[in-house]
Amino acid sequence: MRGISENSLGWVIRNRTSELLKGWWQPGILLAALIFSIPVLTIASFLLQPSGDVWQHLVDTVLTGYLINSALLTLGVGLGTLSIGVTCAWLTSLCQFPGKKLFIWALLLPLAMPAYIIAYTYTGMFDFAGPVQTLIRDWTGWGYGDYYFPEVRSLGGAIVMLSLVLYPYVYLLARAAFLEQSVCVIEVSRTLGCNAWSSFYRVALPLARPAIVAGLSLALMETLADYGTVSYFGLGVFTTGIFRTWFGLGDSAAAAKLAAILLLFVFTLIVIERWSRNRAQYHHTTNRYRQLPQFQLTGFRALIAFVACLLPLLFGFLLPASQLGLWALDTYTVMVDASFIRLTLNTILLGLSTAVLAVLLALFFAYGKRVLASKLVFASVRVVATGYAIPGTIIAVGVIIPLAWFDNTLDAYMRDQFEISTGLLLSGTLFALMFAYLVRFLAVSIQSVESGLAKIRLSMDEAARSMGYKPAETLFRIHLPLMKGSVLTALLIVFVDVMKELPATLILRPFNFNTLAVRAFELASDERLADSSTAALMIVAVGLLPVILLSRSIASSRAGS
Amino acid sequence: MTSQLDIEKLDVSYGDNQVLRQISFSLQPGNIGCILGPSGCGKTTVLRAIAGFEPVLGGRILINQVEVSSSYFCVAPEKRDIGMIFQDFALFPHLSVADNIGFGLKSWSSGQQQTRVREMLAITGMLAYGQAYPHQLSGGQQQRVALARAMAPRPGLLLMDEPFSGMDIDLRKQLAREVRNILKQENITAILVTHDQHEAFAIADNICVMDEGRIQQQDTGYNLYHQPANRFVANFIGQGVIIPGSVESPHSVQTELGHIEGKLPISHATGTEVDVLIRPDDVIHDDSSSETAIVIDKSFLGADFLYYLRMDSGIEVLCLAPSHHNHKINERIGIRLDVDHLVIFDRN
């Protein structure tokens, strides 16, 4: 019966067991899932609402532009991340060349670099007054207009910036897929007459395709969610359009409607990603792994491989990080003052408290899913875990609208009944901000906690139960001690994500409340690039922590071992 | 004597798929029962239903005369007074051997806990390993710790789910004997689930053979082998062939191999066509016999050879012969029948 109780029927069995554990847990999970879905539901409802004048104005003037720009941006970043990600993944998994060991983890470093930071760093380096063009003019004696230099602050520039920091998603998943392939399929293809190259194109690449598509859709979700880069470059896409409509035209309904359309695109990506991940499972051809044969590259070929891996690392991390470092050395004595320390503390406190909440909620959801295992709970957890794909801008708008409604309704009621004005209770508070963070980042903590739980066999739970422990006691005595690592990882990743988050923070932060990300972005927007570098560098430095964790886990885990 | 475990007409299903049908059996205090069957027969489900991990659709389960499961009623596993040994042992990797064994003793005083843990370590021969961690132990040692941990709280019923499945054959035999001795010494009522009949014979007082969610026969190992209740049990337990025969009298059957005497389970009219089970130990190799057969294959078992023989009529039988009778393939050898237990099935 083992076979049956552990395959697809598994949930049915545990589902029925769960009927014995009725209580507050399952309703609690359903309610929490509903609450965390409010922002997305709010935005989605605007798809159906009648459009006002402002919306008609948007349709007549800017909407087509938003659509075209967003499409071009997505297409460009898609091509960029694919070509960089797959090339590097293939070189570092199936080839042997000098420096490969270093590149395997170093190629992840750009993940630590938020796109808006790399965007204004490059602007500072490459615009007319920047060091590069100044150097060219000094050497050649040319003046303004005498030569062509590509404009960083353009659609093309945004594509390059985003590709440089988002390719690791494709790289990570593609590399894992290449490594997980059984040596047998590759060898079988060789015995059937394929040479090394054609076995890559005809076997390895098609087998890795679902994983590559999944990585690509993650990168594109980030692209659609980006606000900092496109705003800094002055591009009209959906996220910037939402901001302009909200703050410029003051029309929340039209902004929400824009957000709703963006949501449609995001959902398409979510569907593609889920579908690809499912397919990727079927592409696991075997559970017997052996190190794949490596193509030994020498001479010119090795040099090309080396350069191909070096370029994304150089431009995606080393160069911008060094520039930030140089700027920070110049300016930190002025920039680090009492207000800087206060906003650093703000950021840390906000990040920590959100992270702790996110992990507690993740335990509640993930352990509930394990113990209750009902279809409803599965679906709820899945809905909550969709937040990672939703752009911060959408979530912010989706949080602010219901909260404002709640505040106004309560205020009106209290005035009516008791002649007391409650004012804005929730809007514009840290509560609203943290709620938005949780909507976006719960997925991260749930995923981490779930993967920790998944490593603990169900027989552990049952053993504890058979020795007289209730489910909650089992969680504290068995699961938590065994999954300390996953819990800490979840804390760290949520903390860093909160620290880097920009658009939702910009919209929802309480008056006069600043974080490092907001401060860096504000200074950069005021063209004080050098001044913004200290805050930016701190974000990058902290952002390196989860990347290091990730690269270490990649180095230590090998498929099949 | 009142029984320690009673299962009455148990039905369990996963969705629309009914995996257990009308399972009934009982276990007396101090006895070791076994549920034996091929994989997928539902045997693990029985165990998990007893433990309270599976709800039941119909029927009921009583442990020590107390009802713990019926449809719409299920006592939580932690309140059932059971101990369980899992297929993968499920030792807690973050706890030492002693802490694992003491895990179920949370309501005991710390002095009692220490005494009991020491006692269990001694019984299982693991006294030197109290402070070791599970990953430092061999498979056999982990097995002993799992046994000690499950027995420590003195459960009314010990459940064992394929506890020897991950081990090599020699260790299996040795541990099965050890476990039986410990259980008997501690007078523990236990029930074992396995697909391995030798394990079942070595450890159990009473065996239920299961197939397709039903109990096919409940008996001692000896009887399962010599008096199988149906074709499934005949095939599943031991080796043998089924040959055609016809009823001669209420006490005998005529077959190709000759005349077999014995008690017929049901009276059949003379001349009724039946099938007769012939075990390898029913066919005796005898050079002086006039009946002969051709060796078509053989396997060496150490003390014995198992010969695959073809009679002139084309019927094939098995014959267990001492290994100094080393015959070649295609050689013609003499055989005779010596059937202790006549087992016949109706011809379909």
Residue A366 CA to residue A111 CA, distance in Å, equals 27
A472 Cα to chain B: minimum distance (Å): 12
Extents of the domains making up chain B:
5-234, 240-346
Give the one of B41, B55, B90 whose C-beta lies nearest to A457's C-beta: B90
CB within 8 Å: B15 and A1: no
Q: What is the three-class DSSP state of A97?
A: coil
Radius of gyration for the alpha carbons in chain A, expressed in angstroms and rounded: 25
Q: What is the three-class DSSP state of B83?
A: strand
Residue B152 CA to residue B163 CA, distance in Å, equals 17
CB within 8 Å: B78 and A3: no
Residue A288 CA to residue B271 CA, distance in Å, equals 58
* Fold designation for B240-346: OB fold (Dihydrolipoamide Acetyltransferase, E2P) (2.40.50)
B332 Cα to chain A: minimum distance (Å): 45
- Judge whether A219 and A115 are in contact, CB under 8 Å: no
The per-residue pLDDT for B129 is: 94
Name chain A contacts of B94, Cβ cutoff 8 Å.
481-482
Give the one of A19, A460, A469 whose C-beta lies nearest to B78's C-beta: A469
In 3D, which of A93, A173, A110, A172 has the Cα closest to residue A313?
A: A110
Give the one of A1, A17, A459 whose C-beta lies nearest to B45's C-beta: A1
CATH number of the B5-234 domain: 3.40.50.300
Name chain B contacts of A481, Cβ cutoff 8 Å.
94
Name chain B contacts of A4, Cβ cutoff 8 Å.
14, 19, 40
Name the closest residue on chain B to residue A21, using Cα atoms. Answer: B76
CB within 8 Å: B94 and A13: no
- Judge whether A77 and A223 are in contact, CB under 8 Å: yes
Give the one of B40, B74, B104 whose C-beta lies nearest to A3's C-beta: B40
Q: CA A22, B18, B346 angle in degrees (round to 5)? A: 155
Residue A76 CA to residue A532 CA, distance in Å, equals 28
Residue A222 CA to residue A214 CA, distance in Å, equals 13
pLDDT above 80 for A196:
no
- Predicted confidence band of residue B158 (pLDDT cuts 50, 70, 90): very high
C-alpha distance from residue A24 to each of A29, A31, A358, B96 (Å): 9, 10, 20, 35
Q: CA A186, A187, A189 angle in degrees (round to 5)? A: 65
**Could you identify the residue written with the tokens 């859709």?**
A217
Choice among A16-20, A212-216, A426-430 with the minimum mean pLDDT: A16-20
**Could you identify the residue written with the tokens 């901000």?**
A433
pLDDT above 90 for A468:
no
Which residue numbers of B have CB closer than 8 Å to A's CBs? 14-15, 17, 19, 39-45, 48, 51-55, 74, 76-80, 82-84, 86-88, 90, 92-94, 103-104, 106-107, 149-150, 153, 159, 162
- Judge whether B234 and B248 are in contact, CB under 8 Å: no
> In residues, how long is chain A?
561
Which residue numbers of A have CB closer than 8 Å to B's CBs? 1-5, 9, 12-13, 16-17, 19-21, 457, 459-460, 462-470, 477-478, 481-482
Contacts (Cβ under 8 Å, ≥6 apart) of A523: A529, A531, A532, A535
- Predicted confidence band of residue A182 (pLDDT cuts 50, 70, 90): low
Residue A57 CA to residue A50 CA, distance in Å, equals 14
Name the closest residue on chain A to residue B155, using Cα atoms. Answer: A467
CB within 8 Å: A4 and B39: no
Q: What is the three-class DSSP state of B6?
A: strand
Q: Model-level pTM? A: 0.78
Q: In the structure encoding, which two tokens stand for residue A228, read together?
A: 């900092």
Q: In the structure encoding, which two tokens stand for residue A400, read together?
A: 């602010």
C-alpha distance from residue A440 to each of A387, B296, B308 (Å): 4, 72, 70
Q: Which residues pair with B346 in a beta bridge?
A: B274
CB within 8 Å: B94 and A481: yes
CB within 8 Å: B48 and A457: no
Q: In the structure encoding, which two tokens stand for residue A396, read together?
A: 């912010």
Name the closest residue on chain A to residue B107, using Cα atoms. Answer: A468
- Judge whether A111 and A175 are in contact, CB under 8 Å: no
Per-residue model confidence as pLDDT tens digits over B161-207: 988 887 788 888 888 888 999 999 889 999 999 999 989 999 999 99
Residue B332 CA to residue B294 CA, distance in Å, equals 4
Per-residue model confidence as pLDDT tens digits over A548-560: 887 777 665 543 3
CB within 8 Å: B76 and A465: yes
A16 Cα to chain B: minimum distance (Å): 7
- In DSSP notation, A104-128 reads HHHTTGGGGS-HHHHHHHHHHHHST
Q: What are phi and psi of B114, to 5 degrees?
A: -60, -45
Average pLDDT of A393-411? 88
Name chain A contacts of B108, Cβ cutoff 8 Å.
none
A287 Cα to chain B: minimum distance (Å): 18
CB within 8 Å: A5 and B43: no
Choice among A134-138, A356-360, B151-155 with the minimum mean pLDDT: A134-138
Name the strands in the sheet holding B258-261, side by side, starting at the edge strand that comes first in the sequence. Answer: B258-261, B252-255, B241-249, B273-278, B344-346
Q: In the structure encoding, which two tokens stand for residue B119, read together?
A: 């006692």
Residue A316 CA to residue A115 CA, distance in Å, equals 10
- Interface with A, mutate which of B78, B79, B108, B145 (most A CBs under 10 A): B78
Name chain B contacts of A5, Cβ cutoff 8 Å.
44-45, 48
Per-residue model confidence as pLDDT tens digits over B259-311: 888 776 666 778 888 888 988 988 888 888 888 899 999 998 888 999 999 98
Q: How many CB pairs under 8 A join A and B?
A: 96
With both helix axes pointing from N to C terminus, report the angle between A338-372 and A529-556 in degrees, rounded to the nearest 10.
Answer: 30
Contacts (Cβ under 8 Å, ≥6 apart) of B138: none
CB within 8 Å: A20 and B55: yes
Q: Which ranges in chain B belong to alpha helices (H)?
A: 43-51, 97-102, 110-123, 139-151, 169-186, 197-203, 221-226, 231-236
Average pLDDT of A12-29? 58
Q: Is A73 left (phi over 0), alpha (psi -120 to 50) or beta?
A: alpha
Q: What is the three-class DSSP state of A47?
A: coil
In 3D, which of B71, B149, B57, B142 has the Cα closest to residue B105?
A: B149
Q: Which ranges in A373-391 belong to alpha helices (H)?
A: 375-384
Give the one of A3, A481, A482 whose C-beta lies nearest to B39's C-beta: A3
- Report the percent of chain B where pLDDT is more than 70: 98
Choice among A39-43, A466-470, A551-555, B20-24 with the minimum mean pLDDT: A551-555
Exposed / middle / buried, residue A271 (Cβ in 10 Å: 0-12, 13-18, 19+): exposed
**Measured on CA atoms in the order B288, B293, B296, B300, is the torsion positive or negative?**
negative
ipTM: 0.77
Give the one of B76, B153, B159 whose C-beta lies nearest to A467's C-beta: B153
Give the one of B41, B53, B82 whose C-beta lies nearest to A17's C-beta: B53
Q: In the structure encoding, which two tokens stand for residue A348, read together?
A: 């840390």
- Judge whether A513 and A346 are in contact, CB under 8 Å: yes
Average pLDDT of A393-403? 89
Name the closest residue on chain A to residue B90, using Cα atoms. Answer: A460
- Predicted confidence band of residue A186 (pLDDT cuts 50, 70, 90): low
Name chain B contacts of A372, Cβ cutoff 8 Å.
none
- Judge whether A494 and A439 are in contact, CB under 8 Å: no
CB within 8 Å: B78 and A463: no
Tally of CB atoms within 10 A around A334: 11
Q: What is the mean pLDDT of chain A?
A: 83
- In DSSP notation, B261-329 reads E---SS---TT-EEEEEE-GGGEEE-TT-S-EEEEEEEEE-SSEEEEEEE-TTS-EEEEEEETT----T
B269 Cα to chain A: minimum distance (Å): 42
